[in-house]
C-alpha cells in the first residue's frame, strides 16, 4: 500500500459498532482483510463473539421504540445528511472499496454514487408512509389502516458491492423506523464500518444501527436470528446460504427479504442494433468484473449474427486492461479470492472439455492476486456447467438460437430468475419477451437495471422481496388495521 492508501484505511474505525460505541470484540479477536490484487493484509477488524452478537440485538431492541417514534422528517434528514457525506467522501470511499474488493477505482466511484442514492431516495420516502380510511361494504365499520415499522432487522450483505448492498437495506429500514444490525461479508467489512461512522456523524442516535463484523458468519448469525427481539432478516448473497437462513428464520417466523444468486440471460434478436447490443453485453457482463448477481451469464444470439457478435464481443473484451484497481486505466480487477479463481477456471475448463471454443481469454493472468482474463466462449453445449451455474467472473458464453421461442425457452431454462436483458428494435418482440421471461427484472436495449428508484429483486431461486423503488420501504413496514364502530 502506498501512503494515501494506508491513510484511507487507517481513517476507518475497525471495532464493532454497538449501541453507539466502538468497541473490541469481547474475546479480543480480530481477523484479516486482504487486498485481492496482491493477497496482502490491509487491515484487521474485530471478530465478534456470540456475546457481542447478543449485545448488538439488545441495543437494536432497546432503541426500537424511540426510533419508531422519531419524526419521519427527522429520520429522512439524517439519511439526507449521510447521502451528502457519502458523496463528499466519494474519493476515499472508492479507494477503500477498491483496496478491499478489487474493482477498478472508476467502478468504485460509480458504486459509491449508486450507494448514496439509496439514502437520498429513502430520505424522500420516509415522509410518504401512508395508510387508508374507508367505509366497509356493509357500512357497519370504518376501516383504518396504518403502516408501522416491522422492528429490529438483521441485514446481511455480500462482498461484491461492499457499500451499495448495505445502503440498499439500511436506507429503507431506517426510513421505515426500524433499528438494525448490519453484518457485512468478511472479505469487505471496511466500507460498512466507514458507513457507520458517516451515519454517526450525520446524527443517527446510538443503537439504531449496529455493525457486527465476523469471520464466523454462521454461529454469529444463529445467535442474532434466535434472539426473541428480532423481527426481520434481509439477506443478500448466494441462494444456498439464503435457503439455509430461511430455515433458521422459520422458528422465529421472521419477516424475510431474499436477494439471491442469478444466471442472467442476454438475448440478441436478429433485428437488434448490433453496436448497442455489443456495448450492452460488455456492460452487463463486465460490470464488477462479472462478479454481480445481475451479470450476463448466458448470451443468446440469433444464429444469423451469432458468430459475428461473438467476434465483436471478443474484440471488445480483449481490449480491456486487467490490473490492480488502483492502476490508471484499469478496466478489470482481480476476482475476490482463490476459491473464486478456482471456480471460474473450473467452469471454463469444463466448457472447453465439452467442445467449447475460446475466442479470447480462457486462463488466469498476472503473477499474483486473483486475476482471470476476460473470456468469450462459443459452441458451448448447454450441458456444460457454465450454462447452469452462476459464473461470477469475466466469462461470456455465446449460444446461438434459431427462433424467438427457442431463445425464451433457453433463457428460462434455469432455476434462477433475477434479471434478463434483451436487444431488439421491435416493440412487439420486446413486450412479448418481457412478459415471457421468468425474471424479476428486464433490461431492454441496455445492460444495466440497477437504479435506486426502481424495485430490484428476483423470482424463482433468485429470491423474493424488492429493494429500491416505491416497494423497497414496504419490506420494513407492516400494515395495521383498525375496525372502527361509529354506530
Interacting residues of 18 by C-beta distance below 8 A, sequence separation 6+: 52, 55, 56, 59, 210, 211, 212
Q: How far, in Å, CA of 210 to CA of 192, rounded? A: 10
Identify which of 418, 417, 446, 442 has the alpha carbon closest to the alpha carbon of residue 432. Answer: 442
Q: Interface mask (CB under 6 A) for ligand NAD, residues 1-40, using x and -?
A: ----------------------------------------
Q: What's the min distance (Å) between Cβ of 2 and ligand NAD?
A: 28
Provide the 3-class DSSP secondary structure of residue 198: helix
Q: Does 475 bind ligand NAD (CB under 6 A)?
A: no
| Under 8 Å between Cβ of 427 and 369 | no
Output 288 or 424, the one with its CB closest to ligand NAD.
288
Count of C-beta atoms within a 10 Å radius of residue 2: 7
178 in active site: no
Residue list 334-393, contact with ligand NAD (CB under 6 A): 390
Output 50 or 77, the one with its CB closest to ligand NAD.
50
Strand pairing report for 132-135 and 142-149: antiparallel
Q: Does 404 bind ligand NAD (CB under 6 A)?
A: no
Provide the 3-class DSSP secondary structure of residue 431: helix
Region binding ligand NAD by CB under 6 A among candidate stretches 107-115, 152-160, 363-371, 429-437: 152-160
Q: What's the min distance (Å) between Cβ of 311 and ligand NAD?
A: 29
Please give the backbone phi and psi of residue 310, each rounded to the nearest 5 degrees, phi first: -60, -40
Count of C-beta atoms within a 10 Å radius of residue 405: 10
Q: Does 261 bind ligand NAD (CB under 6 A)?
A: yes
Count of C-beta atoms within a 10 Å radius of residue 70: 16
Of 92, 186, 327, 350, the one binding ligand NAD by CB under 6 A: 186
Q: Does 217 bind ligand NAD (CB under 6 A)?
A: yes
259 in active site: yes
Q: What's the min distance (Å) between Cβ of 139 and ligand NAD?
A: 46
Which residue sits closest to ligand NAD, CB atoms considered? Answer: 237
Of 125, 200, 259, 475, the one binding ligand NAD by CB under 6 A: 259
How many residues bind to ligand NAD according to rule CB under 6 A?
A: 27
Of 121, 122, 159, 372, the one binding ligand NAD by CB under 6 A: 159
Region binding ligand NAD by CB under 6 A among candidate stretches 260-268, 342-350, 427-435, 472-480: 260-268
Provide the 3-class DSSP secondary structure of residue 310: helix
- Looking at beta carbons, which pairs linking 401-407 to residues 24 or more positions away fall under 8 Å? 401/267, 401/300, 401/301, 401/302, 401/303, 402/302, 402/303, 404/269, 404/429, 404/432, 404/433, 407/267, 407/269, 407/300, 407/302, 407/433
Q: Does 260 bind ligand NAD (CB under 6 A)?
A: yes
Q: Interface mask (CB under 6 A) for ligand NAD, residues 428-467, using x and -?
A: ------------------------------x---x-----
Of 293, 323, 330, 422, the one binding ligand NAD by CB under 6 A: 293
| Residue that the C-alpha cell 456444460 belongs to | 384
The string over 407-426, giving b where at least 16 C-beta atoms fall within 10 Å of a residue's C-beta and e elsewhere, is bbebbeebebbbbbbbbbee
Q: What's the min distance (Å) between Cβ of 113 and ligand NAD?
A: 17
Of 238, 365, 412, 478, the one binding ligand NAD by CB under 6 A: 238
Output 236 or 375, the one with its CB closest to ligand NAD.
236
| Under 8 Å between Cβ of 81 and 202 | yes
Interacting residues of 38 by C-beta distance below 8 A, sequence separation 6+: 324, 368, 369
The residue from 259, 291, 390, 475 that is catalytic is 259
Q: What's the min distance (Å) between Cβ of 1 and ligand NAD?
A: 24
Please give the backbone phi and psi of residue 382, each rounded to the nearest 5 degrees, phi first: -75, 0
The residue from 125, 291, 293, 390 that is catalytic is 293
Active site residues: 259, 293
What is the binding site for ligand NAD (CB under 6 A)? 156-160, 165, 183, 185-186, 217-218, 221, 236-238, 241, 244-245, 259-262, 293, 390, 418, 458, 462
Amino acid at each position: 500500500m502506498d501512503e494515501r492508501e494506508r491513510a484511507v484505511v487507517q481513517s476507518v474505525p475497525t471495532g464493532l459498532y454497538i449501541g453507539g460505541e466502538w468497541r473490541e470484540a469481547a474475546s479480543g479477536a480480530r481477523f484479516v482483510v486482504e487486498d485481492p490484487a496482491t493477497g496482502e493484509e490491509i487491515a484487521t477488524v474485530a471478530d465478534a463473539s456470540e456475546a457481542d452478537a447478543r449485545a448488538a440485538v439488545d441495543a437494536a431492541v432497546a432503541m426500537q421504540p424511540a426510533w419508531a417514534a422519531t419524526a419521519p422528517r427527522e429520520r429522512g434528514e439524517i439519511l439526507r445528511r449521510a447521502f451528502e457525506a457519502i458523496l463528499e467522501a466519494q474519493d476515499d470511499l472508492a479507494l477503500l472499496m477498491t483496496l478491499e474488493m478489487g474493482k477498478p477505482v472508476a467502478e468504485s466511484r460509480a458504486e459509491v454514487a449508486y450507494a448514496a442514492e439509496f439514502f437520498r431516495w429513502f430520505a424522500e420516502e420516509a415522509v410518504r408512509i401512508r395508510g387508508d380510511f374507508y367505509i366497509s361494504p356493509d357500512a357497519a365499520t370504518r376501516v383504518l389502516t396504518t403502516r408501522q415499522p416491522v422492528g429490529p432487522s438483521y441485514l446481511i450483505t455480500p462482498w461484491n458491492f461492499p457499500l451499495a448492498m448495505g445502503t440498499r437495506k439500511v436506507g429503507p429500514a431506517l426510513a421505515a423506523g426500524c433499528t438494525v444490525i448490519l453484518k457485512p461479508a468478511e472479505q469487505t467489512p471496511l466500507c460498512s464500518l466507514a458507513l457507520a461512522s458517516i451515519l454517526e456523524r450525520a446524527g443517527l442516535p446510538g443503537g439504531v444501527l449496529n455493525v457486527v463484523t465476523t469471520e464466523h458468519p454462521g454461529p454469529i448469525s444463529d445467535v442474532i436470528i434466535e434472539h426473541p427481539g428480532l423481527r426481520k432478516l434481509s439477506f443478500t448473497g448466494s441462494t444456498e446460504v439464503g435457503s439455509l437462513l430461511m430455515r433458521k428464520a422459520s422458528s422465529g417466523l421472521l419477516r424475510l427479504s431474499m436477494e439471491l444468486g442469478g444466471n442472467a440471460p442476454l438475448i440478441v434478436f436478429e433485428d437488434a442494433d448490433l453496436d448497442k447490443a455489443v456495448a450492452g453485453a460488455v456492460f452487463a457482463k463486465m460490470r464488477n468484473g462479472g462478479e454481480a448477481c445481475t451479470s450476463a451469464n448466458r448470451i443468446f444470439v440469433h444464429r444469423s449474427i451469432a458468430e459475428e457478435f461473438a467476434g465483436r464481443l471478443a474484440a471488445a473484451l480483449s481490449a480491456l486492461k486487467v490490473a490492480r484497481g488502483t492502476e490508471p486505466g484499469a478496466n478489470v480487477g482481480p476476482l475476490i479470492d482463490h476459491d473464486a479463481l478456482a471456480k471460474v477456471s473450473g467452469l471454463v475448463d469444463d466448457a472447453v472439455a465439452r467442445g467449447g471454443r475460446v475466442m479470447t481469454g480462457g486462463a488466469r493472468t498476472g503473477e499474483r492476486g486473483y486475476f482471470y482474463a476476460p473470456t468469450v466462449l462459443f459452441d458451448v453445449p448447454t450441458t456444460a456447467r457454465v450454462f447452469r451455474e452462476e459464473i461470477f467472473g469475466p466469462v461470456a458464453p455465446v449460444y446461438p438460437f434459431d427462433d424467438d421461442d427457442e431463445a425464451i425457452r433457453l433463457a428460462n431454462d434455469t432455476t434462477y430468475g433475477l434479471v434478463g436483458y434483451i436487444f431488439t428494435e421491435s416493440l412487439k418482440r420486446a413486450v412479448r419477451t418481457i412478459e415471457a421471461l421468468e425474471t424479476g427484472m428486464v433490461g431492454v436495449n441496455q445492460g444495466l437495471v440497477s437504479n435506486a428508484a426502481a424495485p430490484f429483486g428476483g423470482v424463482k431461486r433468485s429470491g423474493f422481496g424488492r429493494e429500491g423503488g416505491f416497494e423497497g420501504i414496504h419490506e420494513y413496514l407492516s400494515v395495521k388495521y383498525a375496525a372502527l364502530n361509529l354506530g
